[in-house]
Amino acid sequence: MRGPQESLPLVRASRVVGRWGISIAILFVLLAGIGGTARAQSAAPKRTIVHPGRILDVRTGQMRTNQAIVIEGDKVAKIAPADDVKPASGDTVIELPDATVLPGLIDMHTHLTFELSSLGYSGLGISTAREALLGAKNARVTLEAGFTTVRNLGAKDYADIALRDAINDGDVIGPRIVASGPALGITGGHCDENLLPPSFNYQGDGVADGVEAVQHKVREVIKYGADVIKICATGGVLSKGDDPSASQYTLEEMKAIVADAHRLGRRVAAHAHGAEGVRWASEAGVDSIEHGHLMDDAAIATLKKNGTYLVPTLFLTEYMQANLEHSNVPEFSKKKMRDISAAAQQNAKKAFAAGVKVAFGTDAAVYPHGLNAGEFHVYVKLGMTPLAAIQTATINASDLLGPKFQVGTLEPGKWADVIAVDGDPTKDVTVLEHVKFVMKGGVVYKNEYAK
Is pLDDT of 124 > 60? yes
pLDDT value at residue 238: 79
| Higher-scoring residue by pLDDT: 6, 384 | 384
Query: Could you give phi then psi for residue 434, rounded to 5 degrees?
Result: -135, 65
Is pLDDT of 58 > 60? yes
pLDDT value at residue 30: 40
| Count of beta carbons in the 10 Å neighbourhood of residue 32 | 10
- Is residue 409 assigned to a domain? no
pLDDT value at residue 120: 73
Q: How far apart are CA 390 and CA 376, in angstroms?
A: 7
Range(s) of the domain holding residue 333:
105-401
pLDDT in tens, 190-234: 988 877 778 887 788 999 999 999 999 999 999 999 999 999 999
Same domain, 370 and 446: no
Same domain, 271 and 370: yes
Residue type, 162: A
- Is residue 406 assigned to a domain? no
Span 62-75, average pLDDT: 97
Is pLDDT of 32 > 80? no
- Is residue 408 assigned to a domain? no
Q: How much is the pTM?
A: 0.89
pLDDT in tens, 238-257: 778 888 889 999 999 999 99
Residue 43 confidence class, pLDDT cut points 50, 70, 90: low
Q: How far apart are CA 405 and CA 164, in angstroms?
A: 15
Same domain, 77 and 65: yes
pLDDT in tens, 142-176: 999 999 999 999 999 999 999 999 999 999 999 99
Same domain, 359 and 331: yes
Is residue 334 annotated as a catalytic residue, yes or no? no
**Half-sphere exposure for 243 (CA within 13 Å, toward CB):** 7
- Is residue 351 assigned to a domain? yes
Is residue 363 annotated as a catalytic residue, yes or no? yes
Same domain, 219 and 359: yes
Structural domain count, the chain? 3
- Is residue 65 assigned to a domain? yes
Same domain, 90 and 117: no
Same domain, 111 and 232: yes
Same domain, 16 and 137: no
pLDDT in tens, 310-366: 999 999 989 888 877 777 777 777 787 888 888 999 999 999 999 999 999 999 999
Which member of 160, 363, 417, 436 is catalytic? 363
Contact 350, 303 (CB under 8 A): no
- Is residue 410 assigned to a domain? no
Is pLDDT of 410 > 60? yes
Cα 365 to its chain centre, rounded Å, is 15
Same domain, 319 and 262: yes
DSSP label at residue 197? -
Same domain, 382 and 278: yes
> Where do runs of H (alpha helix) occur along 288-385?
297-306, 315-323, 331-354, 374-381
pLDDT value at residue 114: 92
Which member of 156, 230, 255, 336 is catalytic? 230
Is pLDDT of 286 > 90? yes
